[in-house]
Structure formats: C-alpha cells, structure tokens
Amino acid sequence: MQAHGLGGTFTDEADLTAKKGYVVKIGAADNGVILADDNDEPYVGIVDSVPLAAAGSVGIQSHGIGRVVCGGTVTRGTLVQADAAGKIIDFVPGAGTEYYLGLALESGAANEVVRVNLTPGVHGT
C-alpha cells in the first residue's frame, strides 16, 4: 500500500474502512492512527488508502495536494482543521494552541471533496 505525497503506512486503531479523505491524528500505540475529532492535537494527515478491515494497514498522506472531505463550509484560500467527525472545516483560531491541516485550494460544502495543500501546522502558544 503506497500513500501519495509524503506519508506512509500506519495501523488503523479505529474503523477507517470507509474514511478515505478524512483527517487522522496519532493513536495510542506506536505507528497507530485514529480519526481526528478536533484541533487540539497534531494531525498526521488524511486517509489515502483505506484498510480492508478495521485494525488493518492504512495509507496516510501527510503533505502535498490531497483530496479531503468537507464537514461544513470550506472557503478557498483559508486554513482548515478537522471537525468532530474527522472532516474539514474552516480553521477558527482561539486562545490556546490549535492545529490546522493546510490551505483549502477549493471551496466546498458538507460532504463534498475538495483539494487541500496539506501543510499541517500549529497556531497559538
């Protein structure tokens, strides 16, 4: 299994079998990933190659131009973050340390797939 862009193969610690284009973060075990559910932990990337079964190997894309599922309104030219379901929404910085996935290259609405320049980063203190 080969991920596009920079990334690699990780272990699916949740059921990511139907989650292509969703955002993931570091799981509990070494080399494990789980679905991202907020912006308070660093993102590993997006699911690029789905596992055949839960707890299988999953291809993750961490950089480059990725195709990501929208959870709500995404505005071209803005930074994006994961929502509670692992989909992307426009990044809304707050007072603490928060993480973003990258820059939206297209606008989209809930459940649409848009291109994102994957450049995970951190905002705040």
Tokens 């494990």 -> residue: 32
Indicate the residue type of 99: Y
pLDDT band for position 115 (cuts 50, 70, 90): very high
Mean pLDDT (whole number) for 1-13: 71
**Confidence (pTM):** 0.92
Mean pLDDT of 60-86: 97
Bridge partners, residue 12, by sequence: 33
Write the CB contacts of 30 (distance below 8 Å, at least 6 apart in sequence): none
Residue 14: predicted pLDDT = 86
CA distance 29 to 20: 21
Q: Give the Cα separation of 51 and 86 in Å (integer).
A: 16
